[in-house]
Amino acid sequence: MATLVAQKAKMARNGKAQAVAHRNLTPADNPVFDSDATLADVQDRLGGIPASRIHLHPLPGTATIRDLERLDRKTPGTCELINGVIVEKQMGWYESLVASVLIELLAPFVRTHRLGIVLGSDAVLRLFPQQARAPDVCFVSKRGLARDKPSKSKPIPVLIPDLAVEVLSKSNTTKEIELKLRQYFTSGVRLAWVIDPKRRTAMVHTSLTERTAIDLDGILDGGKVVPGFRVSLRELFDRADQMLEEIDE
């Protein structure tokens, strides 16, 4: 790919560049690319994700929430806005099944106890002015809803989840998830679960620096974020596998 910043500078001189606002971002999250940046540099900045997930229009580093909203109306699937780059979110079918099972367990509990709402992977949430993420599953408390007051008419609302869940798929990289966790906790997320279907393990993150690994017999515990909610990884995967077995019968 031709040098990114050179093209961006030319667009700016023509009055076509779009301003990108950022809030509370670390230097590592700075979306400005060097003048000799290549597609490989963009991939590296985004955590080494496959190039096939990166949208080149608008030019990487210049995309805004408005661009993402326009794309959302035209393109099937879910995309995120990361450091001025529109990135396609890819999720395998089995990973999606695992996420749906978690929603089936979590949503009734949340509804029964009137704790808030549960959203799936199609919900793209604006964590910062020009950063939008789509957790595979998330919980937003009543307090969070009252604080952010999301508008039903806005497709990408400012809404910070209390719990964010990522179910790892084949195209996810370790660095990509680390970047996502950093943005989650910087924005105000209180708890994050990263579930690995391949290894049948999970990592529970309670902050940027505190995490606990759990195995198949371990428990995903809502703690103070979703008080009273507990589910073992074994039950989660058993339910997903049972669904497949019932279809085969």
The pLDDT tens digits for 98-132 are 999 999 999 999 999 999 999 999 999 999 998 99
Higher model confidence: residue 32 or residue 89? 89
Query: Which residues does 247 contact at the CB level (< 8 Å), separation at least 6?
Result: none
CA distance 229 to 220: 8
pLDDT of residue 150 exceeding 80, the answer is yes
- Where do the structural domains in the chain lie, given as residue ranges? 4-89, 93-248
In this predicted structure, the answer to whether residue 92 has a pLDDT above a threshold of 60 is yes
Whole-number pLDDT of residue 37: 81
Answer yes or no: is pLDDT of 71 > 90: no
% of the chain at pLDDT higher than 90: 78
Most confident listed range (30-39, 208-217, 240-249): 208-217
Q: What is the pTM of this model?
A: 0.84
pLDDT tens for each residue of 175-231: 999 999 999 999 999 999 999 999 999 999 999 999 999 999 999 999 999 999 999
CATH number of the domain located at residue range(s) 93-248 in this protein: 3.90.1570.10
Q: Give the integer Cα–Cα distance in Å for 49 and 55.
A: 12
pLDDT confidence of residue 74: 67
Query: 10 or 133: which carries more pLDDT confidence?
Result: 133
